[in-house]
């Protein structure tokens, strides 16, 4: 069981899901996809909270009460705001984490779709985040931007900002932290090539131990979160942050 409430920190609204029993001292911050809402993440958050994890879903700039846009899937609006939203959100993550009292919790950042871009960018910048879960997103930003252009998008007008913050350029910041990459193999919205590129380059660099990095591609899955993905997420968290912790305490 869990309790849910709408909270505010540093002028950012967020949904808080707190387990009412079996609190495992793991907090998961969730960032949603483009054009979505914190309220659309309630199902995912409730599942995780029922496993004993605290779940926080902050509002993202240009969504919900934060200057929401009129038509998210207009080509012009997507080209102008998609990367702008990601870059601004990474700055928000820093301030948001500092405002929370999480000293006795393991901290996991989870993002899906655009949220996966945000989560990956924040993970390389904020060393206090213990783990990253990227679902149908990308940690190889330039690779994904090149794919967007091949699919018909115009180049982002501040391409240098993407290059400067591209997580794949900060592999040295990933050491001793855990990364889980999940992607639908048939994803027609965000190509899994971004996840694969990051995974291959990260392993080739020697900066990340193989045991700390996992990539799973799901056949016959498009741009969605499947039940096998949820099962993988829970098992992965339990193995790395719950079972080990309980073993050390005994």
pLDDT at 181: 98
pLDDT at 104: 83
Query: For the chain, what are the domain ranges?
Result: 2-249
pLDDT at 176: 86
pLDDT at 110: 98
Tokens standing for 94?
């820093």
pLDDT at 245: 52
pLDDT at 247: 45
Give me the CATH code for the 2-249 domain, please. Answer: 3.40.50.1820
pLDDT at 207: 87
Q: What is the pLDDT along the chain (250 residues), one digit of tens a residue?
A: 899 999 999 899 999 999 998 889 999 999 999 999 999 999 999 999 999 999 999 999 999 999 999 999 999 999 999 999 999 999 999 888 888 877 789 999 999 999 999 999 999 999 999 999 999 999 999 999 999 999 999 999 999 999 999 999 999 998 789 999 999 999 999 999 999 999 999 999 988 889 999 999 999 999 999 999 999 999 999 999 986 554 444 3
């Amino acid at each position: 069981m869990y309790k849910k409430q709408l909270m505010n920190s540093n002028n950012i609204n967020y949904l808080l899901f707190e387990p009412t029993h079996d609190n495992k001292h793991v907090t998961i911050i969730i960032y949603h996809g483009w054009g979505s809402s914190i309220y659309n993440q309630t199902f995912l958050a409730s599942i995780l909270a029922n496993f004993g994890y605290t779940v926080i879903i902050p509002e993202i700039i240009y969504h919900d009460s934060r200057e929401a846009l009129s038509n998210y899937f207009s080509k012009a609006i997507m080209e102008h705001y998609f990367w702008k939203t990601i870059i601004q959100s990474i700055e928000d993550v820093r301030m948001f984490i500092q405002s929370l009292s999480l000293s006795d919790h393991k901290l996991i950042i989870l993002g899906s779709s655009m949220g996966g871009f945000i989560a990956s960018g924040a993970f390389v910048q904020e060393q206090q985040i213990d783990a990253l879960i990227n679902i149908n997103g990308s940690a190889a930003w330039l690779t994904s931007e090149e794919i967007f252009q091949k699919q018909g998008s115009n180049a982002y007008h501040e391409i240098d900002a993407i290059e400067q913050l591209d997580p794949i350029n900060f592999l040295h910041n990933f050491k001793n932290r855990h990364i889980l990459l999940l992607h639908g193999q048939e994803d027609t919205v965000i190509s899994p090539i971004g996840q694969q590129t990051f995974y291959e380059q990260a392993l080739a660099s020697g900066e990340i131990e193989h045991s700390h990095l996992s990539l799973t591609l799901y056949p016959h899955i498009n741009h969605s979160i499947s039940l096998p993905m949820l099962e993988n997420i829970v098992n992965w968290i339990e193995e790395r942050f719950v079972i080990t912790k309980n073993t050390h305490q005994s």
